[in-house]
Amino acid sequence: MASYTRSARIVHSLGVLSAFCAITSLVWIGGCVSERVGNESLVTNYQRQLALAGPQARHDVNAASPEESLDLLTPAPTDEPPVPDLAIAADPNTGEKTVPLTLEQAITLSLANSPEIRVLSFDPEIARQGVIAAVGDFDATAFSRINYEDQDSPQNSIFEAGQAETRLFESGVKQKTPLGTEWSASYALARIWDDLFGRTLPTRYEPAVIFEIKQPLLRDAWDEVNLAGVNIAKLNYEASLLGFRERAEAVSSAVTVAYWRLVQARKDLQVQQQLVQQTDETLRKVEGRRDIDATDVQIKQAQAYALSRRAALLEQRKRVVDVQDTLARLIADPRINTTSELQIAPATEPQAIEELPELAAATDRALATAMKQNPQVQRAQLGVEVARINVEVAQNQKMPRLDLVASTRARGLARDHIEAHDQIEGVDYTSYAVGLTFEYPLGNRQREAEWMRRKLERRKAVSTLHSTADEVAISVKESVRRVRTSIEEARIQQAAVEAAGAHLATLEQAEQIRDKLTPEFLLVKLQAQETYAQSQRARTAALIELNVAAAELAQHTGTILDLRMVQSSLTTVVDTVSEQNKPPEPEKPQGPRTFPPRSPSL
């Protein structure tokens, strides 16, 4: 008999040990769901630093002061040294301030200050919290219950208790795992008294240790279904990060285009000023020959050309200011913004490409790069992946429900709670239960319709991907053709400038040896001046168009942030913002130490 009792206790102990191992395994499985998203790239670091820095500091952040309406537009200077450092110079005669600005400096300032980029910098962080919330579904939950019940009912039999008092305390842990397993482990202690006739222990303690588990086998089973919410949340994070990257690329491209447009406007202004000077000089020469051979018709003709070119000069000056405001809005720096009175002097010259790329090969390379790196295509691909996960979940939900249910319970019963707990420790009274539950929805039309809806959504997502890819391909091919056309046009316009310049120089030399100023010669000279100016503007336009097309091609292929100049700007911004967000170092104690501090390990 003693041998049987010892064997039973060994069996019960092994059962408790197995239950403990099962609990440990389930806790480990439930806790292995990672909330990690993204990778530590330069773009993600840039996004996190911007989100950590918060909105840009302005003199009036919330437009709370209607009297100072410009304060909402004016960035506020900070205590940190500005990056990059700008050499702002003031004209001693006019007081006009001018800032030489390179393209890399313009991109750096826009990446650090652009409100458009800052708006989207918060979306990945918001999506990251969604990932954490989805992972939180698998966190363990602690629960407790305290209950007091006092019963007083009429008795109709000696086998019924008339009065009873129950005090119950229960506490435990429950969790859902990625496999769909739902388990709980709890401890309960009840103190019960009743007046039942013939009760051996009117007052008794009943402790219990309970472990229950339910494992779905069909519907809601396995990690593909239960981790769908986490996987979709991570894909949403990736999509929001791509949206941020797309905005950063768009702003970088817009800054580059605005910068080159400002370069073009200033060069056109210089050409127009030169043309006005040439026309005024011609007018003075004509007026100087009034008493020799110049008629009123010739003088009025020269005056008309001079006045029309001065009017065009005014329009050109306005265009310079308009383009400069566009660039200043994108930069949004405390020193350069829409309210500042600085004159921006571009310090970077547009680059010319001498070799003409082979159209088919260049197009194929650009298309292949765009299909891999364009943010719009990548987001459409993420949409297809999300739709695929939803189809798998809906297909699983069509299945019948078949769950494995098991439980074990160790109990004790004694007059004293110590003795009752000894019975639990000795696993004197242990119960086990195991079973299957089955559920089959008749008709199942709701889940069938949901599955079909998800399949249609996936087909739509695939069609969206195809449409997006086609649109990006069209943009890429147009940009490649623009680059190639601009290279050819720049060569032609350079030759045109040389020809027009030689023609004008020949006329000016001929003017010095002519005996008489005829209306025909004057008209030819004025037209030659205009032709020379137009050819200079056309050459500048072709060169600027080449650089603009190259920037837009990099944007369409998703590689503009990989350009050396933009990479350098990103690194500068990340290092600067992270340094500003770094918490202050604790102050060091003053005065010399006479002995070293004791190590915590000692």
Q: Which of 506, 499, 397, 406 is nearest to 441 (CA)?
A: 397
Q: Residue 296 has which token pair?
A: 């009123």
pLDDT at 178 over 80: yes
Give dist(CA 534, CA 522) in Å, integer. Answer: 18
pLDDT at 587 over 80: no
Most confident of 6-20, 217-231, 414-428: 217-231
Cβ–Cβ < 8 Å for 221, 396: yes
pLDDT at residue 23, rounded to an integer: 57
pLDDT at residue 595, rounded to an integer: 32
**What single-letter amino acid sits at 25?**
S
Query: pLDDT tier at 141 (50, 70, 90 boundaries)?
Result: very high
Q: What is the DSSP string of 336-393?
A: SSTT--PEEEE--PPP---S---HHHHHHHHHHHHHHH-HHHHHHHHHHHHHHHHHHH
pLDDT at 309 over 50: yes
Q: What residues contact residue 483 under an 8 Å CB cut-off, 6+ apart?
A: 353, 357, 362, 546, 549, 550, 553
> What is the average per-residue pLDDT within 550-554?
92
Give dist(CA 162, CA 165) in Å, integer. Answer: 10
Q: Residue 249 has which token pair?
A: 């690329």
Q: Indicate left, alpha or beta for 161 from its phi (over 0: left) and psi (-120 to 50: alpha).
A: beta
Percent of the chain residues past pLDDT 90, beyond the cut: 52
Q: Indicate left, alpha or beta for 469 from its phi (over 0: left) and psi (-120 to 50: alpha).
A: alpha
Lowest-pLDDT choice from 193-207, 351-365, 414-428 = 351-365
pLDDT tens digits, 22-50: 555 655 555 578 888 877 788 888 888 88
Lowest-pLDDT choice from 154-158, 280-284, 368-372, 529-533 = 154-158
pLDDT at residue 59, rounded to an integer: 63
CA atoms within 13 A on the CB side of 199: 19
Q: Which of 252, 274, 267, 251 is nearest to 346 (CA)?
A: 267
Q: What residues contact residue 372 under an 8 Å CB cut-off, 6+ apart?
A: 558
- Which run of H or E residues covers position 486? helix 445-513
Which tops the pLDDT comparison, 348 or 600?
A: 348
Query: pLDDT tier at 588 (50, 70, 90 boundaries)?
Result: very low
Query: pLDDT tier at 9 (50, 70, 90 boundaries)?
Result: very low
pLDDT at residue 29, rounded to an integer: 55
State the pTM of this model: 0.81
> What is the average per-residue pLDDT within 480-507?
91
Residues of the chain with CATH 1.20.1600.10: 42-54+83-130+231-384+458-571
**What single-letter amino acid sits at 121?**
S
Which tops the pLDDT comparison, 478 or 358?
A: 478
Q: What residues contact residue 388 under an 8 Å CB cut-off, 6+ apart?
A: 458
Give dist(CA 309, CA 276) in Å, integer. Answer: 6
**What single-letter amino acid sits at 422?**
D
Give dist(CA 122, CA 51) in Å, integer. Answer: 5
Compute the radius of gyration of the chain from its Cα atoms: 41
Tokens 């202690």 correspond to 189
CATH class entry, domain 42-54+83-130+231-384+458-571: mainly alpha
pLDDT at residue 95, rounded to an integer: 78
pLDDT at residue 590, rounded to an integer: 43
Cβ–Cβ < 8 Å for 386, 408: no
pLDDT at 2 over 60: no
Q: Residue 178 has which token pair?
A: 């990625």
Tokens 């739509």 correspond to 460
pLDDT at residue 290, rounded to an integer: 78
> What is the average per-residue pLDDT within 454-461?
97
pLDDT at 431 over 90: yes
Query: pLDDT tier at 523 (50, 70, 90 boundaries)?
Result: confident
pLDDT tens digits, 185-244: 999 999 999 888 778 888 999 999 999 999 999 999 999 999 999 999 999 999 999 999
Tokens 């790329």 correspond to 357
3-state DSSP assignment of residue 308: helix
